[in-house]
């Protein structure tokens, strides 16, 4: 997940992304009907459930009283944290990560408990998880992951790739989220986990 691991659905992430984009463009908070139209949701009730879920995790202001529109909580878009942008990671095939001497601003609610860094995604092997070419992923630095988590995996000590991981006795599977691509299989000694994806950002420009 992009807002917080296992906290929201892909649709709720889309709601957050849309609200953040409107805020950055100086647009007023949208109504539920406007959100439905912008995101292609037919059911107003369904959209209300998504909004309420984001209220409950502290992303949005409660829709109460005379307040018009669906509003982000102020801390969600203020005081971003600067994280190192370490390079480009392939979501299609393993490539060597490129070191880039710069930082990138990240909303504080996307930051994990441990050391974090940012990688820009190249390729389309994770599109069915909503991770697109050009997106930025926030990675919490870890050496272990649960099966099914999206990880930065270092193969043969030199090539990094972004995939879901499945660990079996004598085998590590790096699984793409693209039905047109094949799972990669390696002996455990060839794969080292460098981190787990805990957040995601996207520019619509």
Q: Which residues are catalytic?
A: 125, 163
Region label for 12, one of left (φ > 0), alpha (ψ between -120 and 50) or beta (otherwise): alpha
Region label for 154, one of left (φ > 0), alpha (ψ between -120 and 50) or beta (otherwise): beta
Between the CA atoms of 195, 75, 79 and 14, what dihedral angle is there, to the nearest 10 degrees?
50
Please give the structure tokens belonging to residue 191. 């794969």
Q: Is the dihedral of CA 49, 130, 57, 30 positive or negative?
A: negative
For tokens 């649709």, the residue is: 11
The burial of 47, by beta-carbon neighbours within 10 Å (0-12 exposed, 13-18 middle, 19 or more buried), is given as buried
């Amino acid at each position: 997940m992009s807002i917080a691991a296992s906290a929201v659905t892909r649709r709720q992430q889309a709601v957050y992304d849309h609200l953040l984009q409107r805020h950055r463009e100086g647009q007023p908070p949208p109504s539920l009907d406007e959100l439905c139209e912008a995101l292609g949701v037919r059911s107003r009730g369904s959209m209300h459930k998504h909004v309420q879920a984001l209220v409950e995790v502290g992303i949005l202001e409660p829709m109460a009283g005379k307040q018009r529109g669906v509003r982000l909580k102020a801390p969600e878009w203020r005081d971003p944290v600067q994280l190192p942008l370490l390079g480009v990671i392939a979501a299609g095939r393993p490539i060597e990560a490129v070191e880039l001497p710069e930082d990138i601003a990240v909303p504080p609610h996307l930051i994990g408990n441990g050391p974090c860094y940012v990688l820009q995604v190249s390729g389309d092997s994770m599109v069915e998880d909503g991770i697109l070419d050009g997106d930025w992923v926030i990675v919490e630095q870890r050496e272990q992951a649960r099966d099914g988590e999206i990880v930065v995996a270092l193969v043969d000590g030199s090539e990094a790739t972004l995939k879901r991981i499945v660990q079996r006795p004598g085998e590590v599977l790096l699984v793409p989220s693209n039905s047109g691509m094949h799972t990669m299989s390696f002996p455990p000694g060839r794969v080292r986990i460098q981190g787990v994806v805990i957040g995601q950002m996207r520019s619509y420009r």
